[in-house]
């Protein structure tokens, strides 16, 4: 992994997929890396795509590497998650190509909402994000922060 500085993923960005299912990543969320660095995109149980930058992908790699081959639950989870995952870098225009499995999992067709989560980001379909979006959701932010122990 390169020694680039940590990127902070905050904000919300609406993007359209092009005809080749490519999606532009916000310029502040990109980094200059070599061919060994990139993002890891995984199906998230919430029905979106979780995108891990190199630092978090490396931590997950170490955790997976430490799991026992005899742990059948861990092996089954790895099969289900990583069969749909993809590893990518941005092209020169800052676009990524999302595979069909992840698009189906997330319900993304033509539009996507990229939501920063400080250390990583998620890609949502607009319809699914509308159920989570704090601007349209009536759940009190203070209550949510308390539940999350912030």
Task: Indicate the pTM of the whole model.
Answer: 0.84
What confidence tens digit (pLDDT) does each residue in 6-29 have? 789 999 999 999 999 899 999 999
Place of tokens 């912030």: 150
Task: Provide the pLDDT confidence category of residue 36 given band limits of 50, 70 and 90.
Answer: low
Distance CA 70, CA 51 (A): 28
Chain position carrying tokens 């225009």: 93
Three-state DSSP class for residue 95:
strand
% of the chain exceeding 90 in pLDDT: 65
| Distance between CA atoms of residues 103 and 24, nearest Å | 15
| Residue 4: predicted pLDDT | 52
Strand pairing report for 39-44 and 48-52: antiparallel
Q: Is the pLDDT of residue 2 over 70?
A: no
Q: Which is nearest to 44 in space by CA: 127, 128, 111?
A: 128
Which domains are delineated in the chain?
Answer: 12-147 (3.40.1550.20)
Rounded Cα gap, residues 99 and 23, in angstroms: 11
How many whole angstroms separate alpha carbon 106 and alpha carbon 115?
14
Q: How large is the average pLDDT for residues 108-121?
A: 96
Describe the chain by its helix, strand, coil percentages, rounded to 5: 30, 25, 45
Give the model's pLDDT for residue 41: 96
Q: Which pLDDT score is estimated for 138? A: 59
**Can you give the pLDDT at residue 92?**
86
- Indicate the SS3 state at residue 23: strand
**How do residues 45-61 score in pLDDT, each as one tens digit?**
999 999 999 999 999 99
């Amino acid at each position: 992994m390169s020694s680039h500085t940590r990127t902070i993923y905050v904000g919300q960005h609406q993007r359209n997929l092009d005809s080749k299912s490519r999606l532009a990543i916000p310029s502040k969320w990109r980094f200059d890396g070599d061919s060994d660095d990139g993002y890891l995109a995984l199906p998230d149980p919430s029905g979106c795509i979780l995108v891990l930058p190199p630092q978090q992908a490396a931590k997950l790699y170490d955790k997976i590497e430490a799991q026992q081959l005899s742990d059948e639950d861990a092996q089954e989870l790895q099969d289900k998650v990583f069969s749909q995952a993809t590893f990518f870098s941005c092209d020169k225009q800052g676009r990524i190509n999302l595979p069909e499995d992840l698009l189906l999992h997330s319900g993304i067709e033509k539009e996507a909402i990229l939501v920063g989560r400080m250390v990583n980001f998620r890609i949502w379909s607009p319809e699914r994000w509308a159920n989570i979006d704090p601007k349209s959701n009536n759940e009190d932010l203070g209550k949510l922060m308390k539940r999350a122990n912030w």
